[in-house]
Amino acid sequence: MSIDNIVSHLRYVKDFPIKGIKFVDVTTILKDPKVFAETVDYLYEMYKDKGITKIAAMESRGYWIGSALAYRLGAGLIPVRKPGKLPAATFKEVYAKEYGQDTIEVHQDAFTPDDIVLIHDDILATGGTMKATIDLVKRFSTRKVYCNTLIELTNLPGRSLIPDDVDYTTMLQIDENKLDI
């Protein structure tokens, strides 16, 4: 298993979703079954001994790897969704975005105090969604919270929003300003 092989399968897209953004596309990891498996295996090795009971996968790109990793770890998968997408009673968390606010939700029965939770998403950028998800999970007084992303954009402040009591790991750190695309 090689992080370099996984990294070599990323695609970089200029001016997506808006002009000035250098987008790191992880769908290219998913389309190659060997690289997809290698990515899940890499994360599995990081978390196999942590006692993870649930993975909180963030809408929507966090579902892709999060669900495969949950299966591999023998953990439950908890979808973190935008408002109105979950059918039962939810807890909501409002967070600031660059241009306004957004909201995410989880079911009120998603976690128990006995759970050890891994929050997973594809990319950590400004950190608003990750921080809101951490806040939602902490409402349940779970035993432990871990956070993981495939990629951390180091030129953005995302990591600074992760509380000290939450262990954060990433497979790859990228300074978006240094991408030559």
Are the C-beta atoms of residues 133 and 80 closer than 8 Å to each other? Answer: yes
pLDDT digits (tens, 9 = 90+) for 33-55: 999 999 999 999 999 999 999 99
Does the pLDDT of residue 99 top 80, yes or no? no
Catalytic residue among 38, 61, 81, 93: 61
Say what the pLDDT of residue 177 is: 81
Catalytic residue among 38, 59, 98, 143: 98
SS3 category, 146: strand
Higher pLDDT, 137 or 18: 137
Q: What percent of the chain has pLDDT over 90?
A: 85
Please report the beta strands in the chain, taking only residues with DSSP state E, as ranges in sequence order: 11-14, 22-25, 54-58, 76-80, 90-97, 100-107, 116-124, 144-153, 167-174
Checking DSSP bridges between strand 54-58 and strand 116-124, what pairing results, if any?
Answer: parallel
Q: Is 61 a catalytic residue?
A: yes
Using one digit for the tens of pLDDT, what is the confidence trace for 170-179? 999 999 888 8
CATH number for the region 50-178 comes to: 3.40.50.2020
Give me the residue spans of the domains in the chain.
Answer: 50-178
Spatial separation of the C-alpha atoms in residues 50 and 75, rounded to whole Å: 11
* Closest-CA residue to 39 (of 16, 74, 11, 8): 8
Structure tokens at 141: 């007084």
Mean predicted lDDT score pLDDT of the chain: 94
Distances (CA, A) of 111 to 61, 93, 181: 21, 16, 42
Distance CA 171, CA 25 (A): 14
Q: What's the pTM?
A: 0.95
State percent of the chain over pLDDT 70. 99
Give yes or no: 45 in active site. no
